[in-house]
Structure 1
Amino acid sequence: MERQSLYERFKLLSWQQQIGNIASTLANISRYADSSAYDELTKLSLREAALAIDWCVPNVPQQFLLDLAMMHRELLAWWQVFPVEPRSLLALHTRHQSDRLLVMAGLMGVDSDLQSIDVVSEANGLHSVDISVVKETLVSA
């Protein structure tokens, strides 16, 4: 019943808000994945993010569907093997995916030279984040 209630609220959001919600869940995973004290929360959050991708697919522009499908597959693969070592790999991967989703939804901009990402804060200030050190990692199922 709780899932249905969550779904009813989620489907009322715009596709950008839905993607932002998934990005937030991934950012939380990246924060908690390194600590075994949060294993249960991390595993539940991996499943929640995959479920939210299922729910948002009908609303998202077609050009983003392949990226979402790959993220969905990766999240379920992580969910099946979690907890995993090194935990830092999951933390880095979910942070990167969170940023990708924010860019996809237009909630975060990328400089034209792709050297930094401008994050819009709640106070409408911009903070530059160096992404040259972030490398995409793939989890095979």
Structure 2
Amino acid sequence: SVATDAQREADLAAYPSGLHIYCIDDSETARRLLNYNMRLWADTENVRVFGKDVTEVATFKDCVLEDGDIAFLDQHLEYGGDDNVYGTDIVEELLERGYKGLICIRSDNVAEEDLAKYDAAGAHCAFGKDVAMRKVIEDMKVAYT
């Protein structure tokens, strides 16, 4: 619809530059792509990526709570054994600790029941890993404004 397109363009135009965006993903390739694409499409140099190992989960949470505008999380952080972490668990903890910024989940699992789970945890938006990064970031920007 024309009104929706106009609103989307207005939201994109209103998106501020220089936001602090923190991403966490267990995949080295995904971390590299997130870092590159967030800087390219989200109009900021303030991008940090985490998730190389389970110890980075706590650092990610601390950074998000300190000055994060957007938290972007992989749903399944797999480090082996007891060290697997769900993005939704991190989301719930961030909210319990007072985080007020935008929270986005990225997952291979985006069936209706999965989306309901992300929503129930407190995520503002969820993206499938099959969605092009430019589209993901554009939708994230609209959600932020």
- Under a length normalisation based on structure 1, what TM-score does the superposition of the two structures give? 0.30
- Under a length normalisation based on structure 2, what TM-score does the superposition of the two structures give? 0.29
